[in-house]
Amino acid sequence: MQTRRMANVYKQYWRINILTTLEYRENFLIWFLFTFIYHGTAIASLWIVLERFPSMNGWSFRDMFFLYALWMVAHALHNTFFSTVGEIPDHIRDGEFDRLLVRPLDTLFQAIATPGQVFPDELVLALITFVAATLYSGVHVDAIFIIFVPLIVIGGALIDLGLNLIISTAAFWFVKVDALRWIFIQLEQEFTRYPLSIYSRGVRLLLTFVFPFAFMNYFPAAYFLHKNEVVMGVPPAAGLLAPLIGIVFVAAAYAFWRFGLNRYQGVGH
């Protein structure tokens, strides 16, 4: 019963999103261009650097493009379905969040299904990029690749969601979490662009075991590209565990969310 109601709400949520996007078509085009240029300049930077220095710790531009594309799909999948989690701190600050508490549906689900201007354009762009990167990098597409890539991408999106949820939960205690979010987004977006093996011990540890961004793209890419790198005692094949890591990380984040929600007293409106 509960599930059916949620499915219904979720369907309406996407209907409203798509109608809103169609209503503001010019805005949509500008923001699409924005997404395109963002990833375009990132990939162009890698190309320019690797054109001059052909090897980054043994990774060529082809490898790095694949590394980026794998992160891009997972990140776009997260942005398409869960970017609304990042808006929870705003709802808490202006008191809107308290309304969700009195409604008879799961609070987090309601927060996720708050309509905005969400459109799967980044995801489409990411999928095209990923197909191009796979063909270009010459990765061997076999049964393991076809079965595991979708799972790894979902795992990556869950890792992203876990981080997003942890930061949003912090808003129960600190009203402004923008600075925190900003630093972590930077950590994720810029540090996942390069092979983990170039970093010093502390950062490898952080990106493998604390905030497991390395499982979004580095370990799986190292596996598919047949890299012989063992970082922090973790072999590339561990990249296939990304879906599991994603589930564990998001479960931990959800436990933290429940903990915060139970102690939440409102911001005094």
Partner 1 sequence: MAREATYRFDVFTTVGSFVVRVYLLRMVWTALYAHNAAPKDLSRHEIITYSTVALLMGIVMDIDQTRALHDKLHDGSIATDFMKPIIVPLYFFADGTGEVLFHAALLVPSVLIALLIFHIIVPAPAVLAAFLLSFLLGYLVGFFLNFILNLTSFWTLEISAVQLIVTWLTDLLGGELIPLILFPAVLQTFIYVLPFAAMFSTPLLIYVGQIPPSRYAEVMGLQVGWIVVLGLISTVMWRAGARRVVVQGG
CB of 39 to partner 1, least distance (A): 10
Q: Are 208 and 62 in contact (CB under 8 A)?
A: no
CB of 58 to partner 1, least distance (A): 7
CB of 68 to partner 1, least distance (A): 14
12 binds partner 1 (CB under 8 A): no
* Among the listed residues 58, 138, 150, 266, the single contact to partner 1 using CB under 8 A: 58
Q: Are 139 and 60 in contact (CB under 8 A)?
A: no
H helices of 102-217, in order, are: 107-112, 121-137, 143-170, 178-191, 201-205
41 Cβ contact list (under 8 Å, min separation 6):
none
81 Cβ contact list (under 8 Å, min separation 6):
112, 157
* Among the listed residues 1, 4, 53, 103, the single contact to partner 1 using CB under 8 A: 53
Q: Which one, of 198, 209, 196, 164, lies nearest residue 182 by Cα? A: 164
* Among the listed residues 9, 34, 94, 138, the single contact to partner 1 using CB under 8 A: 34
Q: DSSP assignment, residue 238?
A: G
List the beta bridge partners of residue 59: 56
Q: Are 256 and 85 in contact (CB under 8 A)?
A: no
x-or-dash pattern for partner 1, window 157-186, by CB under 8 A? -------------------x-xx--xx--x
Q: Which stretch binds partner 1 (CB under 8 A): 54-62, 95-103, 143-151, 152-160?
A: 54-62
CB of 230 to partner 1, least distance (A): 17
190 binds partner 1 (CB under 8 A): yes
14 binds partner 1 (CB under 8 A): no
The residue among 54 and 95 lying less far from partner 1, judged by its C-beta, is 54
| 51-85: burial string, b at 16+ Cβ within 10 Å, e else | eeeeebeebebebbbbbbbbbbbbbbbbbbbbbbb
Give, as ranges, the residues between 193 and 222 that touch partner 1 (CB under 8 A): 194, 198-200, 203
Residues 152, 143: Cα–Cα separation, whole Å: 14
The residue among 7 and 37 lying less far from partner 1, judged by its C-beta, is 37
22 binds partner 1 (CB under 8 A): no
Residues that bind partner 1 (CB under 8 A): 26-27, 30-31, 33-34, 37-38, 41, 44-45, 48-49, 51-58, 176, 178-179, 182-183, 186-187, 190-191, 194, 198-200, 203
